[in-house]
Amino acid sequence: MLWTERTLAFEVLPKLHGAVRSQKLADVVAEHLAQTKDHAARVEQVFRAVNAEPSSNLDAAAEKLAQQHDELAEKIVDERLADAFHAIAGTATEHHELAAYDALLALGRALDLGDARALLERNRKEEEQALDKLEQELERLVKELRP
């Protein structure tokens, strides 16, 4: 999860923010970018709370989601359609993150991680809120595509 949050915060979301044309979608991405930096810091705190040095390993699924987005996004010439695609890619990533946090929280309950669990729960809640905002923005963008 640490690799995912760091990669999103310092590579994927800044790049996405620069690519979107809809101001409303850009605002959603910017807000979540700020949150994601906090998510990475909280995951690092969880490591320390369990007396472990923060470390990260490649999340191949998250990496593939980003690669697929980049490969397809450059082929979409209509800005409105491209923004809808960016929002779709964002929702896919949020679903992936939510599943990962659900697994970490289950592990946290099993290992009785105490206060460290609260950090993970806060991240999960913010991921869920980001998903809701992306889905609302996607719905708005799709309505604009209709003739």
| pLDDT per residue as tens digits for the range 84-111 | 999 999 999 999 999 999 999 999 889 8
Report DSSP state, residue 58: -
Q: Are 33 and 9 in contact (CB under 8 A)?
A: yes
Residue 130: which domain range? 2-145
- Domain CATH number, residue 19: 1.20.1260.10
Tokens of 101: 């946090």
Of the candidates 65, 89, 96, the residue with the CA atom closest to the CA atom of residue 1: 96
How many Å is the Cα radius of gyration of the chain?
A: 16
- From CA 146, how far away is CA 53, in angstroms rounded? 51
Question: Is the per-residue pLDDT at 4 higher than 90?
Answer: yes
Question: Is the per-residue pLDDT at 115 higher than 90?
Answer: no
How many residues comprise the chain? 147
47-48-52-54 Cα dihedral, nearest 10 degrees: 60
Concatenated DSSP letters of 27-40: HHHHHHHHHHHHHH
Identify the band that residue 124 occupies on the pLDDT scale cut at 50, 70 and 90.
very high
pTM: 0.94
The whole-number average pLDDT for the span 120-146 is 96
Which pLDDT value is given to residue 15?
97
Q: Could you report the per-residue pLDDT of 8-55, keeping only the tens digit for each? A: 999 999 999 999 999 999 999 999 999 999 999 999 999 999 889 999
Tokens of 28: 């959603």
CA 136, 139, 141, 144 torsion-angle sign: negative
How many domains is the chain partitioned into structurally? 1
CA 89, 82, 71, 16 torsion-angle sign: negative
Question: Is the per-residue pLDDT at 147 higher than 80?
Answer: no
